[in-house]
């Protein structure tokens, strides 16, 4: 089991779509790594999957980041923990639109899962180095991670890790307390 944490540097008011997708790929990375290494899945990535689903649902239903749904923003899709959404707030869209939203969420999550898997497969040597180092040291900071896998630049010349995650990264072999 493990965890990746991003240290907050500043309050962010907005994030662009590429930053959101980078976070999504990171969230799907643990699950993809299980498939790649063990050819199996466990419940270990359940919280990441929950966060990824919540993030994608916001992308589709609140932030207008789905071509199929379009540039619309529906009310928060949250549910009351005891009563359920149906009893606490009326839906501001049809069952048909809800089905489209659900299909888009599932599609984007599948694509993110496959993207994370491909990235890990393409960089399996780096994944092995990170794994060995985490087993040995338990915690790695962003500079230590960059030292193990090397820095990569994006097309705009920006460091790939910093572009995807503007806050410092800490990887740990243990679950957060």
As a whole number, the mean pLDDT across the chain is 80
On whether residue 81 sits in a domain, the answer given is no
> Which letter does DSSP use for residue 22 in this model?
H
61 phi and psi angles, rounded to 5 deg:
-95, -15
Residue 71 has pLDDT above 70, yes or no: yes
Q: Which domain holds residue 51?
A: 3-7+15-71+90-172
Residue 30 has pLDDT above 60, yes or no: yes
Residue 162 has pLDDT above 80, yes or no: no
Give CA–CA dist 11/14, Å, rounded: 9
pLDDT value, residue 44: 86
Torsion of CA 97, 102, 105, 107, to 10 degrees: -100
Region 2-18 average pLDDT: 66
Total number of domains constituting the chain: 1
CATH code of the domain in which 113 resides = 1.20.58.760
């Amino acid at each position: 089991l493990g965890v990746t944490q991003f240290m907050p540097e500043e309050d962010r008011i907005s994030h662009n779509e590429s930053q959101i997708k980078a976070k999504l790929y990171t969230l799907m990375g643990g699950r993809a790594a299980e498939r790649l290494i063990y050819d199996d899945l466990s419940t270990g990535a359940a919280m990441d999957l929950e966060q990824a689903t919540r993030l994608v649902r916001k992308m589709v239903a609140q932030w207008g980041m789905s071509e199929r749904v379009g540039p619309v923003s529906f009310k928060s899709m949250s549910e009351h923990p005891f009563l359920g959404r149906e009893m606490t707030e009326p839906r501001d869209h049809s069952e048909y639109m809800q089905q489209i939203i659900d299909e888009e969420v599932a599609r984007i999550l599948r694509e993110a899962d496959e993207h994370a898997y491909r990235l890990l497969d393409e960089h399996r040597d780096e994944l092995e180095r990170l794994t060995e180092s985490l087993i040995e040291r338990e915690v790695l900071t962003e500079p230590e991670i960059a030292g193990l896998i090397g820095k990569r630049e994006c097309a705009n010349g920006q460091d790939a890790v910093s572009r995807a995650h503007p806050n410092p990264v800490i990887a740990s072999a243990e679950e957060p307390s």
